[in-house]
Amino acid sequence: MSTVPRFALASLAVAALVLLAGCSFSFTTAHITTFVISSDKEGAHATSSFAPSDPIFAKVAIGNAPGKITLKWGLTAEKVVGLAEHSPLPQLDKTYELPGEGTSTYSLTPPHTGWPAGTYSLHVSMLDDSGAEKDKRSETITVTGTATNAPASAAPASNNAQPAERGNASNAEFSEPEFSDSKGGDAADSFAPDTAVIYLHTEFKGVARGSTITATWIAEKADGVAPETKVVSSDVTIGTQENQVDFSVTKPDKGWPTGSYRVDISVDGKVVTVGRFIIEE
């Protein structure tokens, strides 16, 4: 019986190690461990059914992640009133990064006219540090009920628009209200409970000189507050050469209750557009 000399076995072992050292392997068992769609940021009230004015939250937990993870979120209108079937909604796409294991929450504030009724798919893809997709999840949600009618136009007004003569408020056209935590700051649709001041900006045309624009801030569905509670309202009388308006509201003494809020913008008592934002921890 022949035998292999010990020095030959050692040489083979060294060669194998050299070969392995020259190769690059990337193993990961990172995956999405939980995926919950809910009516609250914490994910305590899981649901797949929403009203047009409801905010929507989705939360995932990532396990066994040795390094950075990227989460790409999105919403698709599968069969929705007024939209083609299976229409992606790229304006709602969001990307978040995690340094490793952890959780991520995707929050959606309803449009100012509310979510159109129908079925949607809410989806998330998990990518590793190289950009390779390692896991993905998708769930169907349903919106039932009637959304508010959209205003005549949501296009921003021209900078040289002239105020109309005082008359029918139905001629007014407003851009979609934008919210921020500083005057002229970046637009946002969610704020922390300790936000000192929340600002609203909108542009318009077709508003008569001498008309009154009113912003009424309403807690639609906030913790510890009765639904549709009026927070505050303020007025601006339109003069000449005006085509934009700003409003603001100051934080309550005990902070903003978490939940969803709406601002009704009216001209001479007639609501012409609405804006929505949420307060979340």
35-39, 110-114, 251-255: which has the highest mean pLDDT? 35-39
pLDDT at 21 over 70: no
Report pLDDT for 12: 45
Which residues, other chains included, contact 139 with Cβ-Cβ below 8 Å and sequence gap of 6+?
A: 35, 37, 48, 58, 121, 122, 123
Q: Which two tokens stand for residue 217?
A: 């801030």
Kindly report, residue by residue over 74-98, the tens digit of the pLDDT.
Answer: 999 999 988 899 988 887 888 888 8
Inter-CA distances, 267 with 89, 91, 170, 173, 245, Å: 31, 29, 9, 10, 12
Share of residues in the chain with pLDDT > 70 (%): 80
Mean pLDDT, the chain, whole residue set: 81
Query: 2-29 burial string, b = 16+ CB within 10 Å, else e?
Result: eeeeeeeeeeeeeeeeeeeeeeeeeeee
Which residues, other chains included, contact 71 with Cβ-Cβ below 8 Å and sequence gap of 6+?
A: 60, 62, 95, 96, 97, 98, 104, 124, 125, 126, 127
For residues 203 and 220, what is the distance between their CA atoms, to the nearest angstrom? 24
Confidence of residue 169 (pLDDT cuts 50, 70, 90): low
Lowest mean pLDDT among 3-12, 148-157, 202-211, 269-278: 148-157
Specify the residue for token string 């549709």. Answer: 228
What domains can you pick out in the chain, each with its CATH number? 31-143 (2.60.40.2550), 169-279 (2.60.40.10)
Residue 164 near residue 206, CB atoms below 8 Å: yes
Report pLDDT for 220: 92
Specify the residue for token string 């929505």. Answer: 276
Report pLDDT for 144: 92
Residue 131 near residue 214, CB atoms below 8 Å: no
Report pLDDT for 170: 61
Kindly report, residue by residue over 179-206, the tens digit of the pLDDT.
Answer: 999 988 889 999 999 999 999 999 988 8
Which residues, other chains included, contact 269 with Cβ-Cβ below 8 Å and sequence gap of 6+?
A: 169, 214
**Torsion angle, alpha carbons of 198, 203, 207, 208, to 10:** 80
Lowest mean pLDDT among 40-54, 83-97, 236-250: 236-250
Q: Which two tokens stand for residue 219?
A: 């807690």
